Amino acid sequence: MDYTIESYNALVERLLALSVAYYDNDAPLVSDFEYDRMNNELKAMEAAHPDWIRPDSPTQHVGGHVSEAFAPVAHEVPLESLQDVFSFEEVAGFVERMDASLDASHDYVAEPKIDGLSVAVEYRNGIFYRGATRGNGEVGEDVTENLRTIRSLPKTIQNAPERLIVRGEVYMSHETFRTINARRELEGQPLLANPRNAAAGSLRQQDPAICAQRMLDVIFFNIQLAEGAAYREHYETLEAMAAMGFPVVAHTLCRTPSECTAAIDAIGEGREGYPFDIDGAVIKLNDLSQRQTLGSTAKYPRWAVAYKYPPEKKPSRVLDIVIQVGRTGVLTPKAVIEPIRLAGTTVTNATLHNQDFIEKLGVNVGDTVLVQKAGEIIPEVLEVVKKDSEGSFRFPAVCPACGAPVVRDEDGAAIRCTGAECPAQRLRTIVHFASKDAMDIDGLGPAVVEALDRAGLIKTPAELYYLEPQSVAAVERMGKKSAENLIANLEQSKDRGLARLLCAFGIRQVGAKAAKVLARHFATLDELMAATEEQLTAIDDVGAVTARSLTDWFASEQSQDLIRRLREAGVSFESREEIADDRFAGKTFVLTGALERFTRAQAEEIIERFGGKASGSVSKKTSYVLAGANPGSKLTKAEALGVPIITEADFVELIKD
């Protein structure tokens, strides 16, 4: 193939950017398979034109950099990466090279390649001493305190060498990943993308307490250094680590090329049984002295290869398309397909992402589609390979869970249910209703909401105010005192006022700030419900989209039922937002730097109480920039635009009676 120096440089830059996203930001931009494909293309270019090779080429070093947020740790024994192969022919080629390079007989060990974050862990006199990430292979990041939070990491080991360094892989189990994402969905937080990046991001948290909450695990696959101990074979070291109490990767002894390929097949077929993601199988020379003889290239050991499982693709017929409603109200389409075997699992469902994706493919019930599952990702429909239907599947106009109208996000492809009492969303709705910015009900976090739901005590936020102490006390992990406290906190929350109640409703486009704006213009919820779209859009900071969202929500039968039940329970619908006067009416403030007399939240509250608006960015329309100590770039921009800059002392003068 003809290559150009321009295409070579472009590919190097692309791969460097992808490496930063994967290793440093824990946010991959392409699949592992696509990255490997590009990396192999780069190797082919460099083999054809060795004079082009750049020192910063990804082929010349291990991916990943060392973050300045952690102390550096120099690895006594480098943490090398492995040469990837993608076919059994390449595996056979590796075995042939071993045969040609070694006179003595030799065998191999096959292991699953865990898709996690590689670490080196050191023990001194049997006690955990220090742990570091792989980093660039030569220098890693000291993550000792975060590793201490991992329960499966032995903190002491028996019959250990005086000094021991072992290499392992930190991972987040599939069960933990699902549990954390379910909780994050309830709390309205962004979902973790995948277990590998969740593990990497968690281990590199500055606060060990956050790392502990992620419930990570670790599994080991190599002894890097063992002072005072002698091992002849890799298989022996794995058995020794297991005897010391380490969780050790599954391992199979292979004596022939056919046994190596059989082990690879077995690992691939059994991947469903692993608690972690795998992205391949590793074949390693077993004899440690032979490894020493062969050594390494600039980047890889010569005595091992990693077989990467290609994404499997198979055709199947679409039997049905069902719409699922998530806890945040998003409607997600799923294709029910004729069963096929992919990546070690039987697949009967595949994601269709959203309406735009369906229309792009032109897929409908009855069509034959190509389905892919790479590693442990969710199966997805790739394309239509045989069209046996008319047109494309269309989303329903109403929620399949509750019958409320559905709307499309203004800034995305998501289609959402608008029902205030949708059963599919009830946990998320109730958790949000009780949250800090909303009704601020102490003691009513996600775990308690889930427990009350399991007990059948609540289906909507309004039912919180009808709970009885004896029923709550009988709920798992509650008891009499906790029940009494919760009932008391619910009673107190009834008087939070209109702004918090509006925020608690979870109306699209109406967050805490918008709720305060509305509560300053309407004395009661009834006045707000009677307002027209024209009256709403006449208010500063209330646009047409927000106005339509409000009127549609109040017109819904589910919303009206929720409001009726809250009214009967004695929840206040009156505004608590006081306007001292309108001296800041029409004025916008931007805060930068640290204030001495006020927190930022307090200063913004004062500005809003005098009829003004607090913004996060400077523009020509900004009235004042309030600058505290160590102001940032906002001050520079204000100076460039000629925006008036005031000190904290100036601000105090402005708010004096």
Tens of pLDDT, residue by residue over 65-100, are 545 568 999 999 999 999 999 999 999 999 999 999
Do 261 and 126 belong together in one domain? yes
- 19 lies in some domain: yes
Q: In what order do the strands lie in the sheet with 278-285?
A: 83-85, 304-308, 278-285, 108-114, 252-254
Task: Look over the chain and give the mean of its residue pLDDT values, rounded to a whole number.
Answer: 90
Return the CATH number at 12: 1.10.287.610
pLDDT at position 432 is 93
Task: Judge if 193 and 45 occupy the same domain.
Answer: no
pLDDT category of residue 377 using cuts at 50, 70 and 90: low
Flag whether pLDDT at 17 surpasses 70: yes
Q: What single string gives the DSSP state of each residue in 53-64?
A: --TT-GGGS-S-
Could you tell me if residue 338 is inside a domain? yes
> 316 and 231 in one domain?
no
**pLDDT value for 295:** 95
User: Do both 158 and 196 map to the same domain?
Assistant: yes
User: In terms of domains, do 472 and 377 share one?
Assistant: no
Does residue 418 fall inside a structural domain? no
In a shared domain, residues 558 and 466 = yes
Q: Which one of the listed residues 113, 373, 516, 613 is annotated catalytic?
A: 113
Residue in the structure block whose two tokens are 């680590």 = 241
Domain presence at residue 643 = yes
Claim to verify: residue 117 and residue 141 sit in the same structural domain: yes
Q: Which residue has the higher pLDDT, 207 or 64?
A: 207
Last residue of a domain, one of 284, 308, 332: 308
Last residue of a domain, one of 261, 283, 308: 308
Q: What is the DSSP string of 418-462?
A: --TT-GGGHHHHHHHHHSTTTT--TT--HHHHHHHHHTT--SSGG
pLDDT average, residue stretch 315-328: 93
pLDDT of residue 285: 97
User: The CATH number of the domain where 460 resides is what?
Assistant: 1.10.150.20
Same domain, 469 and 538: yes
Query: Which pTM was predicted?
Result: 0.69
In a domain, 437, yes or no: yes
Are 159 and 280 found together in one domain? yes
| pLDDT tens track for 519-556 | 988 999 999 999 999 999 998 779 999 999 999 999 99
Judgement on whether residues 113 and 17 belong to the same structural domain of the protein: no
Number of domains composing the chain = 5
pLDDT over 80 (residue 376): no
Give domain status of residue 583, yes or no. no
Dump pLDDT digits (tens) for 572-625.
999 988 766 788 988 999 999 988 889 888 898 899 888 888 888 899 999 999
- 113 classed as catalytic: yes
Looking at the domain assignment, is residue 206 inside a domain?
yes
Amino acid identity at 22: Y
In a domain, 510, yes or no: yes
**Please, how many CA atoms are within 13 Å of residue 609, restricted to the half-sphere of its CB?**
13
Same domain, 615 and 474: no
The domain that contains 364 carries what CATH number? Answer: 2.40.50.140
Residue 292's pLDDT is 94
Domain region containing 100 = 72-308
CATH number of the domain within which 104 lies: 3.30.470.30
**Which residues are paired to 330 by β-bridges?**
416
Question: What percentage of the chain reaches a pLDDT higher than 90?
Answer: 65
Confidence of residue 27 (pLDDT cuts 50, 70, 90): low
Q: Parallel, antiparallel, or unpaired for β 624-627 and 588-592?
A: parallel
My answer on whether 647 and 596 are in the same domain is: yes
DSSP string, 122-164: EEETTEEEEEEE-TTSSEEEB-HHHHHT-TTS-SB-SS--SEE
End residue of a domain, out of 38, 60, 82: 60
- Predicted confidence (pLDDT) at residue 301 exceeds the cutoff of 80: yes
